């Protein structure tokens, strides 16, 4: 399917690895020029080079912490005109409800709620002015069904979800859509880190931790960044203009809900 977005320009936050990189690869395959962000310069340059080589698109890497005001300013200055925004950042650490202090919540809110909101506030006016735009926020399945040890994530991402529900309907008249993609377990560094926590807590091997988690998913496997990226690229396509303010689970059926 021709996604109809060749020649558009996308800003992909936190995109040198994992789900963000999956989105970058799928958008580049659709002919979209990229502004690619992550903190670590080496992995970012490597990803940018591979994307240019494989897809012959322009890729502008910007090494910065997207969760800081200075980082966002650097990314936005380098980005210029942006038609497609994919927001993403590392997730908050796991823990216990009784241990989290105000500062822990402030960090999680900054990274996973207020950063995407700031980026949307900066870029939506340009999209509205041009009469076309796409925003995809990478959130989590924890928005639909809480994961107890990820309470910081549950809280911050739910706040973003509420914001998107209202804002998506305010910008839709201008040809701009905002939707959220909710990953379940995907085979990335983040999943490996969570598996490592289970290995340590339960004294089991990596293979066992992984097999146990895969067994809990109806699809009986972890998702891939390529599958995730393909869904993102479709939401950014010309065909998805009537999908507004949705929260789309990509979790192999793990979240046991009817709707
Ligand atoms: P990942 O494989 O660890 O990749 C994270 C990417 O984000 C890397 O490119 C990393 O590069 C970049 N990054 C992290 N913090 C950043 C920051 N402050 N500023 C700029 N770039 C940053 O993670 P992932 O699995 O793709 O997860 C992406 C998001 O989805 C996370 O919020 C995660 O919690 C959520 N999620 C993932 C899963 C899963 O199973 N994978 C499930 C549910 C939710 P640098 O470290 O160099 O900055």
Q: Which of 13, 15, 17, 93 to mutate to test ligand 1, by most ligand atoms within 8 A of the CB atom?
A: 17
Q: Which of 28-37, 173-182, 189-198, 241-250 has the lowest mean pLDDT?
A: 189-198
For the chain, the first-to-last Cα distance in angstroms comes to 28
Report the nearest atom of ligand 1 relative to the CA of 71.
19
Distance from the alpha carbon of residue 174 to the mean position of ligand 1, in angstroms = 31
CA triplet 11, 119, 153: central angle to 5 degrees?
100
Rounded percentage of the chain residues whose pLDDT exceeds 90: 96
Q: Whose CA is nearest to atom 34 of ligand 1?
A: 91
Residue 190 pLDDT: 85
pLDDT for residue 65 is more than 90: yes
pLDDT for residue 211 is more than 90: yes
Q: What is the pLDDT of residues 8-25, one digit of tens each?
A: 999 999 999 999 999 999
Distance separating alpha carbons of residues 66 and 74, to the nearest angstrom? 9
Residues with CB under 6 A from ligand 1: 14-20, 37-40, 43, 65-67, 88-91, 138, 140-141, 183, 185-186, 188-191
Residue 234 pLDDT: 99
pLDDT for residue 194 is more than 90: no
Residue 47 in tokens: 């990803």
């Amino acid at each position: 399917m021709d996604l109809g977005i060749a020649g558009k320009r996308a800003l992909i936050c936190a995109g040198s690895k994992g789900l963000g990189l999956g989105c970058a690869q799928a958008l580049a395959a659709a002919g979209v020029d990229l502004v690619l962000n992550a903190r670590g310069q080496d992995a970012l340059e490597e990803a940018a080079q591979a994307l240019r080589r494989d897809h012959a698109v322009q890729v502008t890497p910007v090494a910065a912490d997207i969760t800081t005001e200075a980082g966002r300013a650097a990314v936005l200055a380098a980005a210029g005109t942006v038609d497609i925004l994919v927001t993403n950042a590392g997730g908050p650490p796991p823990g216990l409800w009784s241990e989290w202090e105000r500062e822990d919540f402030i960090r999680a809110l900054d990274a996973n709620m207020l950063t995407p909101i700031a980026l949307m506030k900066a870029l939506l006016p340009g999209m509205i002015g041009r009469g076309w735009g796409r925003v995809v926020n990478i959130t989590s399945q924890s928005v639909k069904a809480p994961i107890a040890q990820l309470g910081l994530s549950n809280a911050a991402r739910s706040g973003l979800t509420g914001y998107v529900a209202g804002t998506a309907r305010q910008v839709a008249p201008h040809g701009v859509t905002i939707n959220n993609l909710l990953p379940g377990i995907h085979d990335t560094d983040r999943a490996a880190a969570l598996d490592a926590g289970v290995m340590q807590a339960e004294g089991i091997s990596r293979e066992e931790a992984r097999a146990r988690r895969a067994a809990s998913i109806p699809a009986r496997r972890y998702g891939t960044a390529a599958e995730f990226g393909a869904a993102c690229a479709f939401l950014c396509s010309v065909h998805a203009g009537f999908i507004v303010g949705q929260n789309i689970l990509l979790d192999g059926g793990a979240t046991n809900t009817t709707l």
